[in-house]
Amino acid sequence: MTFDKKIFIDQIGVEERIARFNTRSIKKASKIQGLRLALQMIDLTTLEGKDTPQKVRQMCYKAQHLADHLQEIPNVAAVCVYPNHVKTAKQALAGSTIKIASVATAFPSGNSSLKIKLQDTRLAIENGADEVDMVISRGSFLEGEYNRVFDEIASIKSACEKQARLKVILETGELGSLENVRKASDIAILAGADFIKTSTGKIQPAATMPVTLVMLDAIKDYYESSGKMVGMKPAGGISTAKSALQYLVMLYETLGEAWMSNEWFRFGASSLANDIIMQLGKEQLGVYYSKDYISID
C-alpha cells in the first residue's frame, strides 16, 4: 500500500468552517441535552508516573459518583489508565457499565520495538481492558515510513482481536501540518483503527478544532467510500463546557446524528467533567457551587 500521494488542506477554509460552528446559537434545552451528552462521552484519565492503586480507585469512584446530589446525571464513558492499573480499575468498576481503556505501545512516545508494543497491548487486554489507546511512531511517520506506521497499527489491531476496540493516537502536535494530520488519519483508518485520537495530552498543542475537523473529514470520506464508521476522540486541552458544545456542533454538522454517542465520539479531558457538572448543577439548583466541591482526580 502506498501513501505518498500529495495532500492539500485549505487552512483558511478550515478556519472559516470552525468560525461558523462557533457562532451557532444553542437554546437552553438543547444546551442541557448537549452537556449531558458530552458528559457521557468523557474518558476520565490518570496517566502519571505517580499513579497508585489508590489514585486509580479514587478516579473510578468519581466516575461512578460524579454528581449524586443532582438528578439524572449520566456516567462518563470510560476511565483510562496504564496497563498495570487495569486490574485495579476493573475491580473498582465491578457492576458498572463504565468501560476501561488502557494506553499501550510505549505511551506516550511510541519509541519502542513492535515486540514490546505488542506485549504492552496484550498485557492491557489480559488485565481486562475494553479499549486500547495506542500511539503511532511519529518519528517513522515524519521520516516518510508510512507503510511501517500502517503495519504497526495493523499488528496492534490484530492483537486486540475482538476483545478490545482500538483508538489510534496521532499526537497531532508533533505532526507539523494539517496535511500530515490528514495523512496520518487516513493511514490509521485504513490500518483498522476503531477510533482516531488527536493527542496523548503530554504534548502541546493537543486537541484543537482545526485538527479535529481535518480528522472528522477523513472519517467522513472513508465512510462515504466504504460504509464503515470510525470513531473520533479529541484529547487534551478541552476543559470547558462551552468548548465541548462547540465540538459537538462540529461533530453533528460534519458527520451527522449517527456519531452523536459515546460509541463513536469521546473526549479525553478529565477536567471537562468538573465544568460540565458545575453547569448542570447551576441549571438544577440555580447557583454555582465551588469548584472545590468536585474532586480533581
Catalytic residue ranges: 133, 197, 233
Whether residue 205 is preceded by a cis peptide bond, meaning omega within 30 degrees of 0, is: yes
Place of cell 454528581: 67
Contact between 174 and 140 (Cβ < 8 Å): no
For 76, 240, 275, 278, the CA distances from 35, given in Å and listed in that order, are 12, 10, 10, 11
Task: List the alpha helices (DSSP H) in 85-206.
Answer: 86-92, 114-126, 138-142, 146-160, 178-190
Rounded to 5, what percent of the chain is helix, strand, coil? 50, 10, 40
Distance, CA of 273 to CA of 41 (rounded, Å)? 10
Distance, CA of 107 to CA of 112 (rounded, Å)? 9
List, as own/partner pairs, every contact residues 67-70 make where C-beta atoms lie below 8 angstroms and the sequence separation is at least 24, other chains included.
67/277, 67/280, 67/281, 67/294, 70/277, 70/280, 70/281, 70/284, 70/285
Eight-class DSSP state of 292: G
Grid coordinates of 202: 503530554
Give the full edge-to-edge strand order of the sheet including 131-135. Answer: 43-45, 78-81, 99-103, 131-135, 165-169, 195-197, 231-233
